Copies of this chain bind each other. A is one copy, B any other.
Amino acid sequence: MKESRRTFLKKISTLASVALAGGGLGSSVFAKEEDIKWDESWDVVVVGSGFAGSAALCEAIDMGVKTLMIEKMPVLGGNSAINGGAFAIVGSPHQKRKNVEDSYELYVKDIKKAGLNLNQVDLVETIAKNGYDAYKFTVERGVVYRDDLGHFGGHSVPRTIWPEINSGGKITIPLQEYAQQKGALIRTRVIFDDLILSNKGQVIGIKVRENYDFNYNKSVDEEDNKSGVAKFYRVYGGVVMASGGFSYDIKFRQEMDPTITPDLDCTNHYGATAYTLKNLMKINVQTVDLNWIQLGPWGSPDEKGFGIAPVFAIPAFAYGIMVDARTGKRFINELADRKIRADAILKINKNPDGSLTHPVVICDSVGATGTTKANVYRGLHKNVIKKFDSIEELAQFYSIPYEGLKKSIDNYNSYVKSGKDLEMGKPFFKLDGKVVDISKPPFYAWRALPKVHHTMGGVKIDIEARVYDKQNNIIQGLFAAGEFVGGPHGASRLGSCAIPDCIVFGRIAAKNAAQRSMQVRG
């Protein structure tokens, strides 16, 4: 048995060494089923355990098929677990309670505007129309949302909701628990290596490595990590690729966009590499938009990774201003989309000697109530957010010319009063029924530095979450969802649109994989 496994692996490596350019789906393995010694069999295998994977897991198990989720890391959840949990949908009870008028068309329009109109529009429409159902799906499976409605940058109206606390883990964990209770199996430390294809190019299984040891040393390419034990899983229905983006793959992200240099910090978990994506690219899977990599404008130089700044940034940008610390002047609409804000910060933050002067974001004590007290406390405790009794103190602390800052705040307050931001065109929204200016101490502030946050590119899918090869043919048995997919967000993803994307397409992918399983098995 060991010998036959070794022979098989030899065959894989022989074939993989042949140039497979363009020649149909050139998997590492075009296998005859009888040649393979399968270790296990499944109807649906979900690769990745974030929003998309967790939604897929629920959908597949609800359809009554034998379902496995694999996660290469020792912990579940990927980026979703450390994400802020912001979820933008049209028609939530939250919008209704606040009489916010919204529409699918407006939602699509906002996403396309942020994406510089490079979006694959049918995917955006699918997200818009199925977002509310995705929300209900999570509620029915144990996710609890709090009664807040947020207004994220780039959105025409407030449409963002959150689970109990600002964490995506409050969505992934209930979904995973629900699926496990219904019989789905979840395994950590199992890495996806290769598709096993029939000679017709259909997916019939996967090669994985169990007991995988992820290497947290960022100077080691994941390709070079050979840990774990090879296993072959027969898959009857389909593989749902939901293994996320590659923001923390320092080499690959720079290859795709040379402006994303290694010194840029990243908000993602360490596992966000391009390993899986590159394996599929090698066998001729079609990709789109890999050159579009998003920087989050709400990162802070005063903490590593995602941190607390992005959470506090929500009220700070909505109810405050961002100024150039050299002048005290505003320089961008604080509610513009992520790309516009990140680009604007990176345009002004450099000094002639190469050093950086970080812009400062400021709101007052009323504005700060736009997020929970716990979030404010965490930011202060971590020294990322600072609190000041007066604007003078604040200006002094950050070395901002006081007169310049004072003038910017005075102007801003007059715009708030008139309801029209004459300087930057930022829309104003009420907080608990009141307009909010910057006048009531204490004042809160933090410094902004964009960080690599999201990779817009990935494999190309259709609205049924089916993956294309580079001949524009559908690959039978291969589905994908979430950040692993390219297209819906074009050049830049609008904030709080990842969760609806992941849940909508995770469900579609799993449904189609499960249905295919039933067809195949009769």
Contact = CB atoms under 8 A, between A and B. Distances in A.
A23 B257 CA distance: 13
A291 B22 CA distance: 12
Interface stretch (A175-183, A346-354, A503-511): A346-354
A116 interface: yes
A138 to B, nearest CB: 33
Interface in A323-363: 339-340, 342-347, 350, 352-354, 356
A427 interface: no
Contact of A347 (B23, B255, B258, B290): B23
Number of identical monomers bound together in the oligomeric complex: 2
Nearest to A14: B354
Interface string A440-466: 000000000010000000000000000
Interface string A290-310: 110001000000000000000
A187 interface: no
Interface in A174-231: none
Interface stretch (A77-85, A279-287, A366-374): A279-287
Contacts of A259: 19-22, 26, 281-284, 470
A9 interface: no
Interface string A257-273: 11111011000000000
B491 A472 contact: yes
Interface string A109-126: 000000010000000000
A354 B15 contact: yes
Interface in A12-53: 14-15, 17-24, 26
Best-surrounded residue of A260, A353, A470 (most CB of chain B within 10 A): A470
B22 A264 contact: no
A282 to B, nearest CB: 4
A417 interface: no
Contacts of A21: 257, 259-261, 264, 295, 342, 346, 450
A22 B354 contact: no
Contacts of A420: none
B281 A14 contact: no
A156 interface: no
Contacts of A11: 352
A45 to B, nearest CB: 23
A14 B295 contact: no
A19 B346 contact: yes
A258 B116 CA distance: 27
A146 interface: no
B278 A258 contact: yes
- The majority secondary structure among interface residues of chain A is loop
Nearest to A252: B255
A414 interface: no
A22 B258 contact: no
A14 B17 CA distance: 42
Contacts of A343: 22-24, 471
A346 B356 CA distance: 51
A13 B261 CA distance: 15
A336 to B, nearest CB: 11
A281 B257 contact: yes
Given A22-B346, A347-B24, A258 B287 contact: no
Best-surrounded residue of A17, A23, A260, A471 (most CB of chain B within 10 A): A23
B261 A281 contact: no
Contacts of A470: 259, 491
20 contacts: A17-B354, A21-B257, A21-B261, A21-B346, A21-B450, A22-B259, A22-B295, A22-B342, A22-B343, A22-B346, A23-B343, A23-B344, A23-B346, A23-B347, A23-B350, A257-B281, A258-B278, A259-B470, A343-B471, A470-B491
Task: Pick the 9 closest A-B CB pairs, nearest first.
Answer: A23-B346, A23-B347, A21-B259, A22-B343, A255-B255, A258-B282, A19-B261, A116-B472, A24-B347
Given A19-B261, A23-B347, A24-B343, 18 more contacts: A15-B350, A18-B350, A18-B356, A19-B264, A20-B350, A21-B259, A21-B260, A22-B343, A22-B346, A23-B350, A258-B281, A258-B282, A259-B281, A259-B284, A259-B470, A290-B291, A339-B471, A472-B491
